[in-house]
């Protein structure tokens, strides 16, 4: 697919007001203008009716919903709009579902610049268009200044399962091989450095992206995919602990196999963070039978989204519900779920 051009809204910005006021949430003309000029224009959808009707061929449908809050709203490699689209597309993709249609709800804080809303809406439209999906319906609400943090977005999505596999933690088996689709930890560090004004020698760019092309490549190659999980908050370690707990099996991760960008590693060393727990928005872990590992790796690496894929772990039966890390120096240690967020250390 060629790179989509940035979408030009039908009605040129700026709208009459520079900033969102409580009047934009009042159900009157201002609200209708906002919905039509900013969102419906960017998404090329209609604002005339209460819901969108979408054609979906018969078969299994994947459905998901997620809320997005991020500060700052714009960060290296993305923004809250692209994030809200990628995150929901990825949740669908983790069921092996081709994304079809999204719905988006916006909680907008009074005082937010209309221009910011335009940027977010355009970014969402581009992200959806790249994945071959449409944003077909939505909602806006305005809250008083101080009762929000700019813009909160909730997106729901539906996608088509064009396969008959049971891509689910219950399909994971002892002996399965785990692949990680690229380097880990970039999104969390990119957002943190933007939020805290931390500057590093080289800019760290979020990995936020839609993973459907990589999943599609796996399915087209006929790989017997047992499970997929996108790595979000809590990072790679938390995703693996969730799988270990869901399956009652042991997972062993090879520290040396997992890629971490040197700039991310440096930032983590400096801040006392473990990159295996740092958030991602465009990486996934894939469980396949050992016999399918080579085919899976090849299929993933064929796509730009997962060109950095590696075999990074395996499923064992030894310690039910636990994840073990094989360290670089060959020792084994526990990789647990953290009790809360990672906190930067004192020294």
Partner 1 sequence: MKHVDEFRDPASVLECAREIGAIVTRPWTLMEVCGGQTHAIVKHGLDELLPSQVTLIHGPGCPVCVTDVAILDQAHAIAARPEVVFCTFGDMLRVPGTSTDLYQVKASGGDVRVVYSPLDALDIAAAEPAREVVFFAIGFETTAPANAMSVYLARQRGLKNFSMLVSQVLVPPAIEAIMASPRSRVQGFLAAGHVCAIMGTREYEPIAAKHRVPIVATGFEPLDIMQGVLMCVRQLEAGSHRVENQYARVVREEGNAGAQALMRQVFAVRDANWRGIGIIDASGLGLSAEYRCFDALDRFGTTLASRQDDGVCISGLIMQGLEKPAACPAFGKACTPEMPLGATMVSSEGACAAYYRYRR
* Distance (Å, whole) CA 345 – CA 343: 6
Cβ at position 266, least distance to partner 1 in Å? 6
CA dihedral (155, 156, 160, 165) positive or negative: positive
**For partner 1, which is the closer residue by CB, 43 or 276?**
276
**What residues are paired with 99 via a beta bridge?**
159
The region of 69-77, 228-236, 261-269, 285-293 touching partner 1 under the rule CB under 8 A is 261-269
The region of 100-108, 137-145, 154-162, 330-338 touching partner 1 under the rule CB under 8 A is 330-338
Cβ at position 265, least distance to partner 1 in Å? 6
Q: Number of residues in contact with partner 1, rule: CB under 8 A?
A: 27
Cβ at position 338, least distance to partner 1 in Å? 8
Among 144, 166, 174, 196, binds partner 1 (CB under 8 A): 196
Among 269, 290, 304, 317, binds partner 1 (CB under 8 A): 269
Cβ at position 233, least distance to partner 1 in Å? 16
Could you say whether residue 322 binds partner 1 (CB under 8 A)?
A: yes
> Contact 121/250 with Cβ under 8 angstroms?
no
In sequence order, what are the residues at sequence separation of 6 or more whose Cβ sits closer than 8 angstroms to the Cβ of residue 256?
326, 328
**For partner 1, which is the closer residue by CB, 67 or 262?**
262
**For partner 1, which is the closer residue by CB, 170 or 195?**
195
Q: What share of the chain is helix, strand, coil (3-state, %, to 5)?
A: 35, 25, 45
The region of 1-9, 38-46, 105-113, 334-342 touching partner 1 under the rule CB under 8 A is 334-342
Among 198, 203, 290, 291, binds partner 1 (CB under 8 A): 198
Could you say whether residue 69 binds partner 1 (CB under 8 A)?
A: no
**For partner 1, which is the closer residue by CB, 2 or 199?**
199
Does residue 72 have a cis peptide bond before it, meaning omega lies within 30 degrees of 0?
Answer: yes
Tokens standing for residue 250? 């042991």
In sequence order, what are the residues at sequence separation of 6 or more whose Cβ sits closer than 8 angstroms to the Cβ of residue 191?
70, 72, 75, 206, 279
Tokens standing for residue 310? 């590696």
**For partner 1, which is the closer residue by CB, 1 or 346?**
346
Tokens standing for residue 303? 């796509």
Q: What stretch of H or E contains 202?
A: none
* Distance (Å, whole) CA 194 – CA 55: 41
Report in angstroms the alpha-carbon separations of 247 from 15, 122, 243, 270, 337.
53, 41, 6, 35, 15
The region of 136-144, 163-171, 208-216, 323-331 touching partner 1 under the rule CB under 8 A is 323-331
> Contact 52/158 with Cβ under 8 angstroms?
no
Could you say whether residue 346 binds partner 1 (CB under 8 A)?
A: yes
Binding site for partner 1 (CB under 8 A): 196, 198, 262, 265-266, 269, 271-272, 319, 322, 324, 327-334, 336, 339-340, 343-347
């Amino acid at each position: 697919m060629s790179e989509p051009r940035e979408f030009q809204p039908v009605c040129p910005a700026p709208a009459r007001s520079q900033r969102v006021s409580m009047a934009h949430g009042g159900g009157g003309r201002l609200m209708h203008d906002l919905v039509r000029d900013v969102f419906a224009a960017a998404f090329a959808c209609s604002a005339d009716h209460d819901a969108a009707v979408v054609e979906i061929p018969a078969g299994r449908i994947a459905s998901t919903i997620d809320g997005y809050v991020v500060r700052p709203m714009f960060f290296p490699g993305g923004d809250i709009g692209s994030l809200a689209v990628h995150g929901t597309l990825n949740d669908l993709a983790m069921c092996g579902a081709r994304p079809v249609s999204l719905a988006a709800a916006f909680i907008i804080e009074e005082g937010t610049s209309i221009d910011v809303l335009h940027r977010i809406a355009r970014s969402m439209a581009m992200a959806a268009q790249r994945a071959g999906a449409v944003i077909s319906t939505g909602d806006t609400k305005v809250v008083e200044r101080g009762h929000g943090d700019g813009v909160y977005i909730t997106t729901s999505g539906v996608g088509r399962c064009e396969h008959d596999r049971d891509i689910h933690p219950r399909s994971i088996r002892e002996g399965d091989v785990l692949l990680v689709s690229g380097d880990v930890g970039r999104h969390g560090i990119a957002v943190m450095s933007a939020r805290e004004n931390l500057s590093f020698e080289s800019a760290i760019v979020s990995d936020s992206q839609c993973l459907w092309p990589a999943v599609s490549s796996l399915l087209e190659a006929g790989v017997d995919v047992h499970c997929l999980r996108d790595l979000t908050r809590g990072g790679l370690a938390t995703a693996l602990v969730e799988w270990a707990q869901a399956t009652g099996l042991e997972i062993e991760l090879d520290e040396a196999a997992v890629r971490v960008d040197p700039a991310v590693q440096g930032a983590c060393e400096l801040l006392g963070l473990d990159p295996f727990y740092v958030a991602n928005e465009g990486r996934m872990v894939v469980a396949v039978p050992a016999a399918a590992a080579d085919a899976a790796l090849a299929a993933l690496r064929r796509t730009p989204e997962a060109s950095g894929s590696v075999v990074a772990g395996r499923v064992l039966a030894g310690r039910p519900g636990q994840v073990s890390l094989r360290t670089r120096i060959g020792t084994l240690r526990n990789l647990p779920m953290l009790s809360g967020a990672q906190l930067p250390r004192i020294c």
